[in-house]
Structure 1
């Protein structure tokens, strides 16, 4: 199913001339230099193809004949390669002589009998080239181990591999006769296309997956004796034709390409995620893919205000049951969308998740995800991406607290993404992870509180229990009677009293010292905190009697709703509610402080105006 969907996407992109996508037998590779040859095979110049628009020069991506899949063997590419093959010089390879001889022998055989001037110039060059000549102009040491191509002098717009004669030779090398003579394939029914075709024994490498080998990795691979069955080896175990193998790997490499303009690729934990729309119309496909990219990764662009407004409009339309076409006529809720998550696994790739669904269903689930996360006041200006949520599961260190990507549990991040896309329960370990992180590092951020709320509310809704009575509130709920939520509120009130009494003299608040134990074993901690608060209240009554009355009222309001004794222990769900209650009450205190400052500022301005 995955390979079939990728192969079909390749055909759609080829039919609409997608930029950067190569035809069968070719692939985009990083090329750094072009050696200009005279008709006699003499190197007259070396042209740099490096892109210098950024901070440092980088190789240019060019469509060249597809490279050979090299593990430990020596195989030459056609009409291009790194300098150890082309010129017999390298700063790292210990077998440059063998690699250069392989390049010469391969091209001598492949180009035998050619009458094309450019290809003949290459043969003459190889026949008289010696690696010692690399020390003289026009060659430079910067070329070592870079990929190089060839050009015939006097033809500035065409490289050797682009010449019609070279493309004819390339087609012959890819033909059934060449494959049969090399005993590289057998004719079987392709599992992807269903047609009888030559089977690919080795599939082209897939590059661009975070954490995988830089030379590429494979989804389909059989290279050990233990993987062989019934006398079949390598690709014969799962027959996929050469064309289908090329198609699915080429389009996957295209989707995985790095760059600021590729919004079909994002990282979530250790998974590299790609997605695409099944649509023949390029503009319709682009619109559907952009919408999904915006919803999955809303904080990826600089125009945060515009992006946030677009997301708000989408959510509003979907919530009211109106069609997405009201926002953009090119949006079609029935368009099939594909999402593929790939994770590194040595020289192979693991499928972290795979989803095929309609755009309308995916948008509906993302809207529900946003609703589950919703907190008031909102902890963010721009809706958080999946990766930003995953970062909340990592420990926060430093001042201000910051999480590292390497600390995100990869399986947890993958299960979080799966739950968002499918609408299922969030992973149960998510709540445990978030609660334990808050207890250990004391960072009770809005994102973490929102994740606690999302897990609790989704579990309640999907369990078909009485959702209305147990639902975690969006904003401060002064009528809630849940012990965990009330104790979180009480803890925030006591912390506020400490801050008001001591002001800037506070080195560490009760949150820094007692949050973990207060949220887990309230009966042991809250009596101590309440006694200490009386000392703070004495100072507040002297300096700010009005504030003292408000704090005492808040404390009494919460305690009146609690049972006769503080609970000895709070379960994981109640600890999640504790964090949400703490967040709501803390934000309410900040809002009161902001209003007080604004009132004082307005009063000062009014007095100044009457003098």
Structure 2
């Protein structure tokens, strides 16, 4: 299903004149330097295609013949390659090997059989001149080329395209038959020449720089009886090119259809062209420094679409695909794979944001991107400390409309206990986990509301409110205190209340004695209201009640800082 969907996407893009995807036998490659030669094969200049991209220089991408898959062997690319292959420079390899690489590069061009093309002929004249190194030395980029061994290609002076893009060269490449064993392709279902090795997938964060494979068999133990390499999963060469080209297109550096969800590089596309392809990343990434409200605006627009039912008719039939990938040695692992219509995904994403919605301080945003929420589960708030697999499991549950993973709930509780801080993102996650779990159990009433819920009689929630109130009393009695009760008692109060709460209740009497009469009356009434549904302090709270404790604490703290009855000293 994954490979078929990717091939269909390739077919859609290649049929679109503005699709920007490479045709069969070609690929887009960043080429830093272009060697310009005249018809006699003399070097005119070496052009630098790089442009400033932030703090770095980025090379322009050119359409070139598809790269050869090579590990340790010598295999030259056609009419483009690195400086060692083109100039025979001994930079990172032994002289004998470099000579072999250069000869292979020249022979590859000759084998194409288009020497009559003036562009190809000019390249062959240049390569056979015997003056390659002296020609290179004439360029102001000589030292940089020798050091970096960059990819380079050729252009005939006066042309605005590379030699490998010339009409006769392209026609010849397309006409070369594919040679190999035939079989039924598992993607197309047709009899094709099967791919023995498949093109590499590049762009997955953390993967090998040479790329990895979705389909590969590199040990005999993985082979079916009597089969080797690609024959174990028969995929036609054309289909293999299509799905890998589509995936590499989605994973390219400037792709708007790629987001990073923890350690999972996530790509997405639709069956037919849709604006949802453009909006999807904004709903989960939210990294728009020039527009802090970008995520909020996108979510509100999606809410409106779902509430009003204003989806285009085709969105109810147009399938949308989301694929999460992560590196695994020389392979690419599928972390998650979700398929639904655009309308279905929209409703599930809206439900996700509704589940997370929570009262917050004025300077905080209504909605937070996934990466920011995930960091709230990690040690020191660092992305590299996020639990493996957690991001993929959470993303998958969001898109499938299922309860969030239990590991997410537990990770947040661990950070709260360790740091004794119930932050806005952590409270959001706990609320979402509890509400989705309750909905999955067919409970009609949600576990947790957006703001303070005085009607919530759950012991965990009430005790969280109680702890927040005791802390507030201490803060008002001792302004500027450096060690509030949260620092010392939160962990035990939220897990074993009976061992701590009675001590804090006695301590609060000393704090109330320091307050003005109006505030003392206010807090005593509030304590009475909270404790009216608490008969005894439990000896232990289970994980769900610990989550409710954290949210009750958060809700009550927010209520204290909101202009309401809780800020009225004379109540």
TM-score range, shorter chain: over 0.9
Alignment partner for residue 470 of structure 2, among 487, 494, 497?
Answer: 494
Q: Where does residue 168 of structure 2 map in the other structure?
A: 165
Q: Where does residue 209 of structure 1 map in the other structure?
A: 204
Q: Does 1:557 align with 2:561?
A: no
* Structure 1 residues 91-137: Cα deviation after superposition (integer angstroms, max 9, x where no partner): 434443332232123223334x6211111111122223366436621
Taking the aligned partners of 1:548 and 1:161, their CA distance within structure 2 comes to: 84
Taking the aligned partners of 1:215 and 1:239, their CA distance within structure 2 comes to: 23
* Structure 1 residues 299-358: Cα deviation after superposition (integer angstroms, max 9, x where no partner): 547434465244224314424xx4223xxx587232111111111111111111111111
Residues 131, 224 of structure 1: alpha-carbon distance in 2 compared, 3 angstrom cutoff: farther
Q: Where does residue 151 of structure 1 map in the other structure?
A: 155
Please tell me whether the aligned partners of residues 7 and 239 of structure 2 are also in contact (alpha carbons under 8 angstroms). yes
Q: Where does residue 374 of structure 2 map in the other structure?
A: 390
Taking the aligned partners of 1:539 and 1:99, their CA distance within structure 2 comes to: 86
Q: Does 1:455 align with 2:433?
A: yes
Q: Where does residue 514 of structure 2 map in the other structure?
A: 539
Q: Does 1:233 align with 2:237?
A: no
Please tell me whether the aligned partners of residues 120 and 163 of structure 2 are also in contact (alpha carbons under 8 angstroms). yes
Residues 60, 135 of structure 1: alpha-carbon distance in 2 compared, 3 angstrom cutoff: closer
Taking the aligned partners of 1:508 and 1:129, their CA distance within structure 2 comes to: 79
Q: Where does residue 607 of structure 1 map in the other structure?
A: none
Q: Say what the alpha-carbon RMSD is for the aligned residues.
A: 2.4
Q: Where does residue 87 of structure 1 map in the other structure?
A: 87
Alignment partner for residue 275 of structure 2, among 287, 299, 315?
Answer: 287
Residues 300, 340 of structure 1: alpha-carbon distance in 2 compared, 3 angstrom cutoff: farther
Equivalence map 1:5-24=2 (5 Å):
5-24=5-24
Residues 110, 389 of structure 1: alpha-carbon distance in 2 compared, 3 angstrom cutoff: same
Q: Does 1:335 align with 2:306?
A: no
TM-score, length of structure 2 as denominator length:
0.93
CA-CA distance at 1:597 after TM superposition:
11
Residues 480, 53 of structure 1: alpha-carbon distance in 2 compared, 3 angstrom cutoff: closer
Please tell me whether the aligned partners of residues 314 and 324 of structure 1 are also in contact (alpha carbons under 8 angstroms). no
Please tell me whether the aligned partners of residues 283 and 299 of structure 2 are also in contact (alpha carbons under 8 angstroms). yes
Q: Does 1:308 align with 2:296?
A: yes
TM-score, length of structure 1 as denominator length:
0.87
Residues 291, 97 of structure 1: alpha-carbon distance in 2 compared, 3 angstrom cutoff: same
* Structure 1 residues 436-474: Cα deviation after superposition (integer angstroms, max 9, x where no partner): 11101223111211211111121122112x442x72222
Q: Does 1:269 align with 2:240?
A: no
Taking the aligned partners of 2:564 and 2:289, their CA distance within structure 1 comes to: 33
Taking the aligned partners of 1:598 and 1:156, their CA distance within structure 2 comes to: 81
Taking the aligned partners of 1:484 and 1:309, their CA distance within structure 2 comes to: 35
Taking the aligned partners of 1:63 and 1:135, their CA distance within structure 2 comes to: 24
Residues 432, 596 of structure 1: alpha-carbon distance in 2 compared, 3 angstrom cutoff: closer
Task: Indicate the SS of the match to 1:78.
Answer: coil
Q: Where does residue 71 of structure 2 map in the other structure?
A: 71
Q: Where does residue 513 of structure 1 map in the other structure?
A: 488
User: Unaligned regions of 5+ residues in structure 1, if any?
Assistant: 180-184, 280-284, 398-402, 600-611
Task: Indicate the SS of the match to 2:558.
Answer: helix
CA-CA distance at 1:291 after TM superposition:
3.7
Please tell me whether the aligned partners of residues 20 and 63 of structure 1 are also in contact (alpha carbons under 8 angstroms). no
Alignment partner for residue 100 of structure 2, among 98, 101, 111?
Answer: 98
User: Unaligned regions of 5+ residues in structure 2, if any?
Assistant: none
Residues 248, 378 of structure 1: alpha-carbon distance in 2 compared, 3 angstrom cutoff: farther
Taking the aligned partners of 2:142 and 2:393, their CA distance within structure 1 comes to: 50
Task: Indicate the SS of the match to 1:34.
Answer: strand
Taking the aligned partners of 1:7 and 1:577, their CA distance within structure 2 comes to: 47
Taking the aligned partners of 2:459 and 2:567, their CA distance within structure 1 comes to: 30
Q: Where does residue 58 of structure 2 map in the other structure?
A: 58
Residues 287, 579 of structure 1: alpha-carbon distance in 2 compared, 3 angstrom cutoff: same
Task: Indicate the SS of the match to 2:200.
Answer: coil
Please tell me whether the aligned partners of residues 366 and 421 of structure 1 are also in contact (alpha carbons under 8 angstroms). yes
Residues 93, 517 of structure 1: alpha-carbon distance in 2 compared, 3 angstrom cutoff: farther
Taking the aligned partners of 1:595 and 1:526, their CA distance within structure 2 comes to: 22
Q: Does 1:417 align with 2:395?
A: yes
CA-CA distance at 1:72 after TM superposition:
1.7
